Amino acid sequence: MGPAGRREEDEMVKRGDWTPWGACDYVEPINGDVVFCGTANHGGAWVPDVRANEMPVNLRTIGLRGVGGWWFEEDCAIEAVVAVFHCRGEDRAVALRGVQRQYPAHALPHQTCGVTTTSGYHRCPERAQVVRS
Protein backbone atom coordinates (compact mmCIF):
# COMPACT_ATOMS: atom_id res chain seq x y z
CA MET A 1 0.00 0.00 0.00
CA GLY A 2 1.10 3.50 -0.71
CA PRO A 3 0.65 6.68 1.34
CA ALA A 4 -2.60 6.97 3.29
CA GLY A 5 -3.47 3.34 2.49
CA ARG A 6 -3.93 3.98 -1.26
CA ARG A 7 -3.01 1.19 -3.67
CA GLU A 8 0.11 1.71 -5.72
CA GLU A 9 -0.37 1.52 -9.49
CA ASP A 10 1.06 -2.01 -9.64
CA GLU A 11 -1.35 -3.15 -6.90
CA MET A 12 -4.51 -2.28 -8.82
CA VAL A 13 -6.60 -5.10 -10.25
CA LYS A 14 -5.12 -6.07 -13.59
CA ARG A 15 -5.64 -8.46 -16.48
CA GLY A 16 -5.42 -12.09 -15.35
CA ASP A 17 -6.36 -11.35 -11.73
CA TRP A 18 -9.16 -13.33 -10.12
CA THR A 19 -12.71 -11.94 -10.05
CA PRO A 20 -15.88 -13.61 -8.76
CA TRP A 21 -16.72 -14.25 -12.45
CA GLY A 22 -13.41 -15.74 -13.54
CA ALA A 23 -10.09 -14.40 -14.76
CA CYS A 24 -10.09 -10.71 -15.63
CA ASP A 25 -9.76 -10.22 -19.40
CA TYR A 26 -9.62 -6.43 -19.28
CA VAL A 27 -9.65 -3.56 -16.79
CA GLU A 28 -11.29 -0.20 -17.50
CA PRO A 29 -10.75 2.62 -14.97
CA ILE A 30 -14.10 4.23 -14.21
CA ASN A 31 -13.27 6.65 -11.40
CA GLY A 32 -9.71 6.82 -10.12
CA ASP A 33 -8.82 3.45 -8.65
CA VAL A 34 -12.43 2.22 -8.98
CA VAL A 35 -12.27 -0.05 -12.03
CA PHE A 36 -14.49 -2.25 -14.16
CA CYS A 37 -13.18 -5.77 -14.75
CA GLY A 38 -14.55 -7.82 -17.60
CA THR A 39 -14.26 -11.58 -18.00
CA ALA A 40 -15.16 -13.84 -20.91
CA ASN A 41 -18.80 -13.97 -19.78
CA HIS A 42 -19.44 -11.33 -17.13
CA GLY A 43 -17.82 -8.68 -14.98
CA GLY A 44 -18.24 -5.97 -12.43
CA ALA A 45 -16.67 -3.09 -10.57
CA TRP A 46 -13.77 -3.41 -8.14
CA VAL A 47 -13.73 -0.81 -5.36
CA PRO A 48 -10.62 -0.91 -3.14
CA ASP A 49 -11.17 -0.61 0.61
CA VAL A 50 -9.89 2.96 0.77
CA ARG A 51 -12.57 4.03 -1.73
CA ALA A 52 -15.25 1.64 -0.42
CA ASN A 53 -14.98 3.42 2.92
CA GLU A 54 -16.38 6.49 1.13
CA MET A 55 -19.58 4.54 0.41
CA PRO A 56 -22.50 4.44 2.85
CA VAL A 57 -22.46 1.03 4.56
CA ASN A 58 -25.90 0.13 3.17
CA LEU A 59 -24.58 0.52 -0.38
CA ARG A 60 -21.12 -0.94 0.21
CA THR A 61 -22.55 -4.17 1.61
CA ILE A 62 -24.42 -4.86 -1.62
CA GLY A 63 -21.00 -5.85 -2.95
CA LEU A 64 -19.05 -9.03 -2.40
CA ARG A 65 -16.16 -8.64 0.05
CA GLY A 66 -12.80 -9.47 -1.48
CA VAL A 67 -9.22 -9.22 -0.30
CA GLY A 68 -8.50 -5.49 -0.16
CA GLY A 69 -11.84 -4.32 -1.53
CA TRP A 70 -15.33 -5.03 -2.79
CA TRP A 71 -16.77 -6.49 -6.02
CA PHE A 72 -20.03 -5.18 -7.51
CA GLU A 73 -21.66 -7.36 -10.19
CA GLU A 74 -22.29 -5.55 -13.49
CA ASP A 75 -26.02 -6.24 -13.91
CA CYS A 76 -27.37 -4.96 -10.59
CA ALA A 77 -24.89 -4.30 -7.78
CA ILE A 78 -22.86 -1.86 -9.87
CA GLU A 79 -25.71 0.64 -9.37
CA ALA A 80 -24.35 1.24 -5.85
CA VAL A 81 -20.97 2.19 -7.31
CA VAL A 82 -22.56 4.47 -9.91
CA ALA A 83 -24.66 6.17 -7.22
CA VAL A 84 -21.64 7.02 -5.09
CA PHE A 85 -18.86 7.62 -7.61
CA HIS A 86 -20.93 9.05 -10.53
CA CYS A 87 -19.19 6.81 -13.01
CA ARG A 88 -19.95 5.36 -16.44
CA GLY A 89 -21.95 8.45 -17.40
CA GLU A 90 -25.04 7.34 -15.52
CA ASP A 91 -27.32 9.49 -13.41
CA ARG A 92 -27.04 9.10 -9.63
CA ALA A 93 -30.82 9.20 -9.04
CA VAL A 94 -31.41 6.54 -11.72
CA ALA A 95 -28.73 4.37 -10.09
CA LEU A 96 -30.34 4.75 -6.66
CA ARG A 97 -33.72 3.76 -8.08
CA GLY A 98 -32.00 0.64 -9.42
CA VAL A 99 -30.68 -0.09 -5.92
CA GLN A 100 -34.18 0.39 -4.50
CA ARG A 101 -35.64 -2.01 -7.04
CA GLN A 102 -32.97 -4.73 -6.80
CA TYR A 103 -31.94 -4.41 -3.13
CA PRO A 104 -34.83 -2.89 -1.15
CA ALA A 105 -33.26 -3.79 2.21
CA HIS A 106 -30.12 -1.86 1.24
CA ALA A 107 -31.87 1.12 -0.31
CA LEU A 108 -32.01 2.98 3.02
CA PRO A 109 -30.61 5.36 4.20
CA HIS A 110 -31.02 7.60 1.19
CA GLN A 111 -30.14 10.74 3.09
CA THR A 112 -26.46 9.84 2.76
CA CYS A 113 -26.91 9.96 -1.03
CA GLY A 114 -29.32 12.88 -1.11
CA VAL A 115 -32.24 10.93 -2.58
CA THR A 116 -35.50 9.83 -0.99
CA THR A 117 -37.64 6.82 -1.81
CA THR A 118 -40.60 7.18 -4.14
CA SER A 119 -42.84 7.23 -1.06
CA GLY A 120 -40.96 10.31 0.15
CA TYR A 121 -39.41 8.59 3.17
CA HIS A 122 -35.77 8.08 4.02
CA ARG A 123 -33.92 6.82 7.05
CA CYS A 124 -31.98 9.36 9.02
CA PRO A 125 -28.92 7.41 10.24
CA GLU A 126 -28.10 9.92 12.98
CA ARG A 127 -31.53 9.45 14.57
CA ALA A 128 -32.03 5.83 13.41
CA GLN A 129 -35.64 6.46 12.48
CA VAL A 130 -37.70 6.94 9.37
CA VAL A 131 -38.58 10.55 8.70
CA ARG A 132 -40.82 12.20 6.09
CA SER A 133 -38.93 14.25 3.51
What is the per-residue pLDDT across 58-92, written as a single tens digit (0 to 9) for each? 899 999 999 899 999 998 898 899 888 876 556 77
pTM metric for this prediction:
0.70
- Report in angstroms the alpha-carbon separations of 31 from 28, 118, 119, 129, 133: 9, 28, 31, 33, 31
Number of domains, the chain: 1
Full domain range(s) for residue 107 = 3-132
What is the per-residue pLDDT across 1-15, written as a single tens digit (0 to 9) for each? 333 433 444 457 889
Task: Say which residues have a Cβ less than 8 Å from residue 10's Cβ, sequence separation at least 6.
Answer: none
Cα separation, 86 vs 126, whole angstroms = 25
